[in-house]
Amino acid sequence: MTVTIPCPDKPLNNALMKNAILNKLCLAFLFPLFATSGFAVKAEDKKLQVFILAGQSNMVGHANAHTVATLYDSDEAGDKKLTQMVFKKGSDQIKKALAEQLALGVKIDELTGGISKDKIKKMSDGPEKAALEAKVEKHKEAYEAYRKQVVSACVVSEKVYISSIADRNKRSGPLSVGYGGNQEKIGPEFGFGLSMAQKMDNPILLIKTSWGGKSINYNFRPPSSGPYELNEKEKAGDKAEEIKKNTSLNWRMMNEAVHAVLKDLKKYHPAYDSRVGHEMAGFVWFQGFNDQFSDAFRDNYRQNMVHFIKDVRKEYKMPKMPFVIGVLGTNMTKEGVDKNAVSVGQRQAAKAPDFKGNVVSVESYKAYDLKARKVFDGGWAKSFAQWRLVGSDRPYHYLGSGKFFVRLGDAFANAMFGLIENKMASVPSSIAVASGEKIAFLGDSITAAGKRPGGYCQLVLSALKDQGIETTPVFAGIGGHKSNQMLARLEKDVLRHKPDWMTLSCGVNDVWHGKRGVDLPSYKKNITAIVDQAQAAGVKVMLLTSTMIREDQSNDLNQKLAPYNEFIRALSKEKKCLLADLNGDMQAGLKKFPADAPKGKQLTSDGVHMNKAGNIMMARGVAKAFGLTDKQLDSSAKSWK
């Protein structure tokens, strides 16, 4: 899938985008998705949206911040809207100040000869030369004042925070200018973050990891690409072992930096609420320049990019994490980019069959600052007073144009938000759980074991994730607990975490513990109270009938358990709860075993607690109650086995 940047004079209108979302809300299956994924939720329930930005020097960003003002030197509607995004209200005076600086720059360059000041040097000492030098000095002071004026007028976001590594510039705080190559520069993060803030109500955290001069074939090499193959020169040199050791160094550094931030999210965003949690909302990749200069690097770009995306998703346990690839566009035109093997590889990677609807490529050449290029090509050194207003670096850094980086960041955000919409819209309508919701699993030791790898709770979460539904678990199973104890700890272990859903598995110990158990009338009272309190708190409830005791339905314990389960079935109808009839599933499952199969431990490890097959049985029952189909579960079960 490929998306090009909207032409600046035909921008993606944010109001239209929001209207489109509201229209989609009319569809019944999308309403709960938006309401629970941060697009229309209560202020205190907004999940932190985390975006990773990574790449080499053009993700670092080498645009002096004051060059952002050149957005005002444009008749294009898209650029005018971007000025409203990046500048504080009441900053229209910047437009006039820029025009004055550009006009004065032309005159100064004509008088001085540009950066070398050849014309001044050729003048004889005297009043005329002194007057010109004074004029140049005055212009320099005005230029410095102008730079400060522009930077002070740039927005400092209250919603978007950033933790950034941009070569040696390592900083964290509210998103503003200064997160580029130094504290006076920007990269695409500035436009991206501000644009995402216009599209989402959630708090946003950007984690940027970027280092100049790095390739995906070597420095960012993902694990799935396999060992790096040294070229003949590297093999013959005395640093072969060091080269092997440092393969994938920036891949490792990137993930180490991201995980360090994720371990202490409150430190990096004051609006983070651990009760609500966070979501790995997307990844933006902008890189490629250093893969152009070797056949092996160029030819393997597509394959490396595909491996990189899959490995990132595996690293962060997000199999369909929205992923935006910035296509290398230093060739400046479509014709030039079409001939660039790296750019072509980036486009092809985005079109991989596995990535349909969740990976997109964005054409950076569409955002190119042609006005800055005209000044550069005309001889930037001779037009230095003009050049430093519009650019600040070489063509391989997109001229260090603030206009370009804001345009590109906005384009990345438009593409990312489109993927997020795709992700939400792709969730099957029949599934009750929505992406972004929180599920509490309340129960006894069977549920406590369910949070372990291969446990039924984990398998349910995995099955939902396979359908693109990312959920947050609250594990609330405690061994030996009965209905009275679960009622007593309901607030502490479940309700204070503000889950969207609660599954309740209770009854085995109420019966199994005999005199220490809970009689049927008390059980009914306790379970009803749990359901009532949960529903009063806005929590949707799924009731689970209790699994068998000792895998023999005819024994006394299972006969005693039967009316407890009948009550659960009746209560689910009365209270309009979802029902997972696991007792019925277990009885049916046991009948599928051969008559001569060993008895007692077919679905359990000890007659009560689930073995692998039992956990799969429970997971299928719960997942089907949530709305997953047998076909969907059969697909998920391939990884369970």
How many distinct structural domains can be found in the chain?
Answer: 2
Compare 9 and 509 and report the one with higher pLDDT. Answer: 509
**Any bridge partners for residue 557, and if so which?**
none
Domain assignment of residue 135, yes or no: no
User: With 70 as the cut, is the pLDDT of residue 427 above it?
Assistant: no
Q: How far apart are CA 455 and CA 613, in angstroms?
A: 10
**Any bridge partners for residue 163, and if so which?**
172, 207
What pLDDT is stored for residue 30 in this prediction?
34
Read off the pTM. Answer: 0.69
Q: How far apart are CA 599 and CA 579, in angstroms?
A: 28
Domain assignment of residue 112, yes or no: no
Lowest mean pLDDT of 25-39, 457-471, 503-517, name the range.
25-39
Statement to judge: residues 78 and 199 lie in one domain:
yes
Domain assignment of residue 131, yes or no: no
Q: Which two tokens stand for residue 115?
A: 């950066």
Q: Which two tokens stand for residue 99?
A: 């025009």
Q: How far apart are CA 248 and CA 111, in angstroms?
A: 52
What pLDDT is stored for residue 45 in this prediction?
59
Q: Which residue in 358, 360, 363 sits closest to 324, CA to CA?
A: 360
Asked if residues 329 and 289 have their Cβ atoms less than 8 Å apart, the reply is: no
Using one digit for the tens of pLDDT, what is the confidence trace for 144-171?
999 999 999 999 999 999 999 999 999 9
Statement to judge: residues 490 and 553 lie in one domain:
yes
Using one digit for the tens of pLDDT, what is the confidence trace for 173-209?
999 999 999 999 999 999 999 999 999 999 999 999 9
Statement to judge: residues 389 and 419 lie in one domain:
yes
Query: Residue 173: which region, alpha, beta or left (left: phi > 0; alpha: psi -120 to 50)?
Result: left
Q: How far apart are CA 310 and CA 323, in angstroms?
A: 10
The percentage of residues in the chain with a pLDDT greater than 70, rounded to a whole number, is: 92
Domain assignment of residue 500, yes or no: yes
Q: List Cβ neighbours of 374 (8 Å cut-off, separation of 6 or more).
A: none
Q: How far apart are CA 327 and CA 287, in angstroms?
A: 8
User: In this structure, are strands 160-166 and 169-174 parallel, antiparallel, or unpaired?
Assistant: antiparallel
Q: Which two tokens stand for residue 246?
A: 């440092």
Statement to judge: residues 356 and 223 lie in one domain:
yes
Statement to judge: residues 497 and 394 lie in one domain:
no
Domain end position, chosen among 425, 449, 479: 425
Using one digit for the tens of pLDDT, what is the confidence trace for 48-90?
999 999 999 999 999 999 999 999 999 888 999 999 999 999 8
Give the Å distances, CA to CA, from 530 to 137, 468, 516, 560, 628. 77, 30, 20, 22, 26
What pLDDT is stored for residue 426 in this prediction?
65
Domain assignment of residue 105, yes or no: no
Lowest mean pLDDT of 39-48, 329-338, 406-415, 510-519, name the range.
39-48
Q: How far apart are CA 433 and CA 408, in angstroms?
A: 35
Domain at 443, CATH number: 3.40.50.1110
Statement to judge: residues 450 and 583 lie in one domain:
yes
Domain assignment of residue 146, yes or no: no
Using one digit for the tens of pLDDT, what is the confidence trace for 214-246?
999 999 999 999 999 999 899 888 999 999 999
Domain end position, chosen among 360, 391, 425: 425
Domain end position, chosen among 425, 456, 472: 425
CA dihedral 542, 548, 554, 555 (to 10 degrees): -130
Statement to judge: residues 392 and 331 lie in one domain:
yes
Q: Which two tokens stand for residue 260?
A: 């360090």
Q: Which amino acid is at 340?
A: N
Q: What phi and psi values does residue 285 have, to the nearest 5 degrees?
A: -120, 125
Using one digit for the tens of pLDDT, what is the confidence trace for 363-394?
999 999 999 999 999 999 999 999 999 999 99
Please give the DSSP secondary-structure letter assigned to residue 589: H
Using one digit for the tens of pLDDT, what is the confidence trace for 276-309?
889 999 999 999 999 999 999 999 999 999 999 9
Q: How far apart are CA 56 and CA 166, in angstroms?
A: 9
Q: List Cβ neighbours of 215 (8 Å cut-off, separation of 6 or more).
A: 56, 287, 290, 291, 297
Statement to judge: residues 419 and 448 lie in one domain:
no
The domain of 478 spans: 438-640
Statement to judge: residues 200 and 331 lie in one domain:
yes
* Arithmetic mean of pLDDT, 566-589: 94
The C-alpha angle 501, 505, 506, rounded to 5 degrees, equals 135
Q: Which band of pLDDT confidence, cut at 50, 70 and 90, is reported for residue 172?
A: very high
Statement to judge: residues 263 and 343 lie in one domain:
yes
Q: Which band of pLDDT confidence, cut at 50, 70 and 90, is reported for residue 437?
A: very high
Using one digit for the tens of pLDDT, what is the confidence trace for 6-49?
333 333 334 333 444 434 433 333 333 333 333 333 434 588 99
Q: Which residue in 8, 30, 58 sits closest to 420, CA to CA?
A: 30
The percentage of residues in the chain with a pLDDT greater than 90, rounded to a whole number, is: 75
What pLDDT is stored for residue 428 in this prediction?
62
Domain assignment of residue 113, yes or no: no
Domain assignment of residue 196, yes or no: yes
Using one digit for the tens of pLDDT, what is the confidence trace for 317-360?
888 899 999 999 998 999 999 999 999 999 999 999 989 889 99
The C-alpha angle 447, 450, 456, rounded to 5 degrees, equals 110
| Average pLDDT score over the chain | 89
Please give the DSSP secondary-structure letter assigned to residue 435: T
Q: How crowded is the C-beta side of 362, counted as CA atoms within 13 Å?
A: 30
Give the Å distances, CA to CA, from 37 to 44, 200, 418. 13, 10, 15
User: With 70 as the cut, is the pLDDT of residue 108 above it?
Assistant: yes
Statement to judge: residues 409 and 482 lie in one domain:
no
What pLDDT is stored for residue 349 in this prediction?
96
Q: How far apart are CA 416 and CA 283, in angstroms?
A: 8
Please give the DSSP secondary-structure letter assigned to residue 154: B
Statement to judge: residues 318 and 371 lie in one domain:
yes
Q: How far apart are CA 422 and CA 428, in angstroms?
A: 12
Q: What phi and psi values does residue 543 have, to the nearest 5 degrees?
A: -100, 140
Tokens 């085995």, residue located: 508
Tokens 């900053």, residue located: 91
